[in-house]
Structure 1
Amino acid sequence: MGRQQLDSLDEKILRMIAENARIPFLEVARACNVSGAAIHQRIQKLNYLGILKGSEFIIDPEKIGYETCAYIGLYLKDPAQFDTVTEELKKIPEVVECHFTTGQYDMFIKIYAKNNHHLLSIIHDKLQPLGLSRSETIISFHEAIKRQMPIADLANDDDE
């Protein structure tokens, strides 16, 4: 599905809920000068269009014992195995993201491990058997920026 047309009310709603997903619809309605029912309908529309992809609580991995965050570039022995490898990666709970990319890697994943020893065992015991020719690991020391996409005048954006 391509880009959807949004009006200024959609934008204002998106800005408010991106800042605080738990904001009450009535508070959004008051700020937007519309009824609570109108906000509810707009949120349903944004969900239906796939612009909003649910809401969630964010767990801090460090607080539950996962102190190592790593990004791993995967080189597949047989690049035709993307789908099979992806299905196997879904079975590894420490893998939290998987991307097909351009550039040197066939796939790029993000994982959380309890420590470096746990990271090594994930790579050796869970990733290597998937048919990798090799992998490259980058350990993240600290996440400096994490944010939602900016909602900046999308209703009038003609930069396509």
Structure 2
Amino acid sequence: MLKDGIDHIDRKLLAALQADAHATTESLGEIAGLSPSPCARRVRMLEKSGVIKAYVAVVDQVKVGLPVSAFASVKLERQREEELDRFSSTVSRWPEVVECYLMTGKMDFLLRIVAKDLAAYEAFLKQKLTRLDGVASIETSFALGQVKHALGLPILA
């Protein structure tokens, strides 16, 4: 976190960078009411403090041949720290798992898995997920369509 916290100028910069990570220092400065030098310093501070974690290209899932999104709810046999950590560590290495959350409630984890088709998801399920020690049950739901996928956080200036 920043030494003095995040102020309204930082929030303007963050909102602008979430909309366009290629924005120039000049255009960011105009948005935030700063000249390029102080603007660049603020962005560097946001990067250094970890508020800005990375700059990425957002890739269209369908256009790269991965149209299937499956949401797998996983329950473990035991919820001890070692088992939770082992599961987390293992699924984090699988490229098909694009999101994984430790959950409260009936299930322990929620995974979003992308695949080229149902057969590829079935192969993932049989060859990877069901073979993990300690998995008690798996319930899968398939997305029929994406209604919203926000790329940025709702940062208010």
- Tell me, yes or no, whether TM beats 0.5: yes
- Confirm or deny that 1:115 pairs with 2:117: yes
Alignment check: 8 A CA contact 2:13 2:31 kept: no
- Superposition deviation, residue 74 in structure 1: 0.5
- Superposition deviation, residue 79 in structure 1: 2.3
Q: What's the TM-score once normalised by structure 2's chain length?
A: 0.89
The separation in 1 between residues aligned to 2:92 and 2:66, in whole angstroms, is 18
The separation in 2 between residues aligned to 1:152 and 1:108, in whole angstroms, is 29
1:135-150 paired onto structure 2 within 5 Å: 135-147=138-150, 148-150=152-154
CA RMSD of aligned residues (A): 1.7
Q: Return 5+ residue gaps in structure 2 as ranges.
A: none
Greater mean deviation of Cα atoms: 25-34 or 110-119: 25-34
Out of 82, 85, 88, the residue aligned to residue 84 of structure 2 is 82
The separation in 2 between residues aligned to 1:64 and 1:151, in whole angstroms, is 30
Greater mean deviation of Cα atoms: 109-118 or 6-15: 6-15
Out of 117, 136, 155, the residue aligned to residue 151 of structure 1 is 155
> What amino acid maps onto 2:62 in structure 1?
E
1:28-43 paired onto structure 2 within 5 Å: 28-43=28-43
The separation in 1 between residues aligned to 2:55 and 2:41, in whole angstroms, is 16
Q: What's the TM-score once normalised by structure 1's chain length?
A: 0.87
Q: Return 5+ residue gaps in structure 1 as ranges.
A: 154-160
Cα deviation digits, residues 33-75 of structure 1 (max 9, x gap) = 3221211111111122222111100111211111210111001
> What amino acid maps onto 1:55 in structure 2?
Y
How many pairs were matched up? Answer: 152
1:38-117 paired onto structure 2 within 5 Å: 38-80=38-80, 81-117=83-119
Identical residues among aligned pairs (%):
24
The separation in 2 between residues aligned to 1:16 and 1:102, in whole angstroms, is 34
- Superposition deviation, residue 77 in structure 1: 2.0
Alignment check: 8 A CA contact 2:75 2:108 kept: yes
> What amino acid maps onto 1:25 in structure 2?
T
The separation in 2 between residues aligned to 1:24 and 1:92, in whole angstroms, is 35
The separation in 2 between residues aligned to 1:106 and 1:69, in whole angstroms, is 19
Cα deviation digits, residues 74-112 of structure 1 (max 9, x gap) = 011232211111111122110011110111111111110
